[in-house]
Amino acid sequence: MNKTAVITGASRGIGRAAAYKFACAGYNVVLNSKNGKDNLDSAYDLCRSVSREGAGIISIPGDISDPGFAKMLIDKAADTFGSVDILVNNAGISFVGLIQDTTDDIWQNVINTNLSSVHYCTRAVIPHMLKNTCGHIINISSVWGNVGASCEAAYSASKGGVNAYTKACAKELAPSGISVNAIACGFVDTDMNSHLTEEERLSVIEQIPASRAASPEEIAKIIYHISQMPVYLTGQIITADGGWI
């Protein structure tokens, strides 16, 4: 039976690349995104184009910062394919601005999307993984969750929370054969960084020893390889930043 991967924030960037990677590897893939139906449809079509015989691809649009929807997403994936073997908590948003300009609504939106959704999806997937006494949960974090970033207090706080949540979950779930790891990404060439001017982009790249941004496909490869590792690898915040931080 094909294994199943659920990927949130799958309409573009890292999530889209990860969905494509798992589809190429013969997994059942469940794609989720809150916004960008056209992008989600495009990602679905891309995964279908490389899907192997016997593997299924479905897309389920919706807001995983809603705990009810998050549970429905995971349960539907399990009901459709019989199990959820890999959960990639990738959905995320950013806000660049001064602390005093971070309104209550902005703060709650960032925390709910980047951190609360990780909890809701993880909580929902645990019963399904417990049935098989195995599973991999991979959370997409950021270097700013490690060290914090000026003018990105809400984003940094949410990713710092993801890191701590990853370590706590790993300790709790290790006896059940479920691994939980996070990838602290550096500067990745995605739409999240599209607000930067070319001058600002080059200024960041000058600080990176690798002398470039990461591609979403590179992060997707890391996600996939973690999912293939023994579950003894757990509780790790794996930094992928080209030597930046």
162 Cβ partners below 8 Å, 6+ apart?
Answer: 89, 114, 115, 118, 139, 141, 145, 182
For residues 79-100, average pLDDT:
97
- Look at residue 87 in the predicted model and tell me its pLDDT: 98
User: Residue 133, exposed/middle/buried by CB under 10 A (0-12, 13-18, 19+)?
Assistant: exposed
For residues 13-25, give the mean pLDDT: 98
The average pLDDT across 98-117 equals 98
Output 233 or 35, whichever has higher pLDDT. Answer: 233
**Above pLDDT 90, what percent of the chain?**
93
Known catalytic residue at 155: yes
Do 136 and 86 form a contact (C-beta atoms < 8 A)?
yes
Amino acid at 69: F
| The model's pTM | 0.96
Tell me, what's the pLDDT at 82?
Answer: 96
Predicted confidence band of residue 192 (pLDDT cuts 50, 70, 90): confident
pLDDT exceeds 90 at position 39: yes
Is 188 within 8 Å of 215 (Cβ atoms)?
Answer: yes
Structure tokens that stand for 69 in this block:
């929807």
pLDDT of residue 132: 92
Q: Which of 155, 165, 224, 232 is an active site residue? A: 155
- Check residue 196 and give its pLDDT: 82
Q: Which residues pair with 15 in a beta bridge?
A: none
pLDDT score recorded for residue 8: 98
For residue 151, is pLDDT > 90?
yes
Confidence at residue 35, expressed as pLDDT on a 0 to 100 scale: 86
- Round the average pLDDT of the chain to a whole number and report it: 96
Locate the DSSP E strands across 102-194: 135-142, 178-185
- Per DSSP, the residues of 13-75 read HHHHHHHHHHHHTT-EEEE--SS-HHHHHHHHHHHHHHPPTT--EEE--S-TTSHHHHHHHHH
Q: Does pLDDT of 103 surpass 80?
A: yes
The CB-side HSE value for 102 (13 A sphere, CA atoms) comes to 19
Q: Over range 166-184, report the average pLDDT.
A: 98
Among left, alpha and beta (phi > 0; psi -120 to 50; other), residue 235 is left
Region 169-178 average pLDDT: 98
Whether 194 shows a pLDDT value over 80: the answer reads no
Is a pLDDT exceeding 80 seen at residue 131? yes
Domains, the chain, with CATH or none:
4-240 (3.40.50.720)
Q: Is the pLDDT at 184 greater than 80, yes or no?
A: yes
* Residue 183 burial by Cβ neighbours in a 10 Å radius (0-12, 13-18, 19+): buried
Phi, psi of 39 (to 5 degrees): -65, -40
Starting at the edge strand found earlier in the chain, the sheet holding 178-185 runs 57-59, 28-31, 4-7, 86-89, 135-142, 178-185, 237-240
**Statement: residue 137 has pLDDT above 80:** yes
Looking at residue 240, what is its pLDDT? 98
